[in-house]
Every structure is written in structure tokens, then in C-alpha cells.
Amino acid sequence: MEVTMAEHGETLPEHKLDTAALYDTLRQSKASVEEAVAKMLAIKKEARPKSQLRELATQILLNIVTLRQANRSILLEEDSVKAETECAKASVELATLQLQSLLYEKNHQIKAIKACKDLDTKYPDIELVPQEEFFRDAPAEIKDSLISEDSEQNLMLKRLNFEMYQEWRFLTRGTSGLEYAFAIEIP
């Protein structure tokens, strides 16, 4: 009987070996050997002919062969059960490792999200043209443009574009760099 390991997800065929019958055979063979040995001792004590001893010795040897066969069958069945257990254990270990990997990845992503949320930027501290002035003075092409899907970010980018537009207009009017530096308020 050959014992093979099953692949992941595959189950080995169930064995229909009657272990109770094998253990019963072991008990019967053992009892038969003990009985034959007791008879041999009785024959020796009574000084009977040795021909009876040969028959009992043959019977003992046959019982020993039966014992070895039953024992071998039991051991093979145990090996088969061990192989099935190892296969099931391997699939459980694989699932456990995959779960641990997913949990590690989840925790890593949660930490990355938390780090992003906790990141302090200068974004809120940027001094921009007030919203009222932006809505009043900005050209329609800047006000109506869609730069980002996020409304707050879109408004911020539009206001930045408006400031860039104002600076560009100021510079294209022929104003020197020194006049420009005095024109803007430096905090």
C-alpha cells in the first residue's frame, strides 16, 4: 500500500481498513501463541515425544506471521492517516499564512493612511486672494475651469491660478521688478 500526499485542496481517498478487526486478530494471535507456549512447557515437563513440540512451534510461527501482517497493516494505516493529517495541516497553515499576510498588509495600509492624514502641510497657511475678491475679479475662464474633482481643492487651485494670472498681468504691463516687489505685500 503506497501512501501519497495530496495536493493543496485535494483530499486523499478514505481508507476502509477495519482497525478493530486487526486489533482483534492481534489479540487472538497473541492468545494462541501464549496457549501454544503453555502447551510446549507442559509437554517438556511431562517428557512427551518431541513431535508434538514441532507442531506447536509451527503453529507459533504461523501466529507470529499473522501478528506481523496485522501489525504491518496497522502501521500502514497509521502512516496513511498521518499523511492525510499532514495534508490537512499544510492547507490550514497556508490559509493561516495568507491571513497573516493580509492582516499585515491591512495594518500597513492603515498606518499609511494615518500618516497621510496626520501630515502637516503649509496648504492651509497659504495666503491667497480672499474668496470674495476671487469671485468678483477673476476671469470666467479661471472661475469656470474644473481642475480637480474635490471642490475645496478645485477652489484652492483656481485661486492660485487667479493669483498667477494677476502676477502675469502685472509683469506684462511693463512694471519693473523693484516696483513689483513693493506692490506685493511681503509678510
Q: Which of 64-73, 119-128, 158-167 has the lowest mean pLDDT?
A: 119-128
* Domain map (residue ranges) of the chain: 19-118, 123-183
Q: Which of 51-55, 69-73, 155-159, 178-182 has the lowest mean pLDDT?
A: 178-182
Task: Give the predicted TM-score (pTM) of the model.
Answer: 0.44
**For range 140-168, the mean pLDDT:** 83
Nearest residue to 145 (alpha-carbon basis) of 137, 133, 157, 135: 157
| pLDDT above 50 (res 187) | no
Q: Which amino acid appears at position 172 of this protein?
A: T
Q: Mutual orientation of helices 51-118 and 19-46 as an angle, nearest 10°?
A: 150
Q: Which of 8-17, 29-38, 113-122 has the lowest mean pLDDT?
A: 8-17
Separation of alpha carbons 141 and 119, rounded Å? 33
Q: Which amino acid appears at position 170 of this protein?
A: F
The pLDDT, as a whole number, for residue 94 is 96
| pLDDT above 70 (res 139) | yes
For residue 97, name the pLDDT band (cuts at 50, 70, 90): very high
With contact defined as beta carbons under 8 Å apart, do 70 and 26 qualify?
Answer: yes
**For range 16-33, the mean pLDDT:** 84
The pLDDT, as a whole number, for residue 2 is 44
In terms of average pLDDT, the best of 90-99, 112-121, 124-133, 171-180 is: 90-99
CA 124 to centroid of chain Cα atoms: 42
The pLDDT, as a whole number, for residue 5 is 47
The region, left, alpha or beta by phi > 0 then psi within -120 to 50, assigned to residue 92 is alpha
| pLDDT above 90 (res 88) | yes
Q: How many residues does the chain have?
A: 187
| pLDDT above 50 (res 1) | no
